Structure 1
């Protein structure tokens, strides 16, 4: 048994619906590994239960796995607004979101969150950033403008398969976007932050 297998065996079981979604994502999409999966999904649910947000903003829906996981942790009055810029994902993702038990808590929006999220006129308690890595810093500043004091940002993929410390990727635009973001928030006095070495790196950020 590997350590990863041991961890999953001693973590809350993955719901059957999410397991089917994870399998379908890996079978029918090119980048199936982008789905959060069992461990990160259960962590996101628990963090939402701990923070108890009223409104969550998600940037980068992909197949809907993380959106459903976070919505599971929301109270009945809570709402998650999730933006996906790639309209080609809609035919796959929308039926999975609409078919889940927490669909009433999720608003799935095709569009550019950088432009459209501020138009909602909502002050968010929590944001999950998982969109284009090249624009992470710009996305972060947008989120900070609509995030309550004491609110949280979860930024995914902040270790980027270890590329952030591998100089062979110094000219890769995605890696440079992540490095720029990581360096920026490390110096940002408006927040507290910690990087968790979970999967591809998950940074937890708290706005002071």
Structure 2
């Protein structure tokens, strides 16, 4: 038994609906590893339950797994706005979101978050950034300006499979460089508190200071 297997045996189960979505993601989509999965999904749900945000932004919907986990943790009246840039993803993802128990808590958009979010003209209590790694710094500044005081940003893939280490053979590819620049910028940013969790591919938890 691996540590990951042990952990999964000792945390809350995912719903049958999420299990079915995860299976369908692996059968029908080209990059199934992009889906959050059981452990990260339960952590997202737990974070949302703890923070109790009224309005959440997700950048990078993909198959909708993480969106459903976030929506599961939302309080009464809470709303998730989730944005997917790949329009070819819509035919797979939208039916899963609209067929879930949380359909009334989710607004799903297709388009570039950097263009859509300013047009929404909303503030958010929590944002989950899991989009184009080359745009993380741009997403961050855009979201921080629209984040409530004391609000949170969760950024995914910030350890990037270890590529962020200088000695890694892929340390100089464009996505890795942008993730490293994002990590360095957030580490120096006095506007926020931050911590990186070595969960899966790295999760950075960021809190906007008052």
TM over 0.5: yes
Conserved? CA contact 1:58–1:129, under 8 Å: yes
Map 1:42-191 → 2, pairs under 5 A: 42-165=42-165, 166-191=167-192
Distance 1:138 1:14 in 2: 33
TM-score (norm 2): 0.97
Count of aligned pairs between the two proteins: 208
CA RMSD of aligned residues (A): 0.7
C-alpha displacement at 1:121, in angstroms? 1.4
Conserved? CA contact 1:76–1:105, under 8 Å: no
Distance 1:101 1:75 in 2: 14
Distance 2:40 2:175 in 1: 22
Cα offsets for 1:32-57 (capped at 9, x unmatched): 01100000000000100000000000
Q: In the alignment, is residue 196 of structure 1 matched against residue 202 of structure 2? A: no
Conserved? CA contact 1:90–1:110, under 8 Å: yes
Q: Which runs of 4+ in 1 moved over 6 A?
A: none
Conserved? CA contact 2:125–2:148, under 8 Å: yes
**Which ranges of structure 2 fall in alignment gaps of 5 or more residues?**
none
Distance 1:144 1:4 in 2: 33
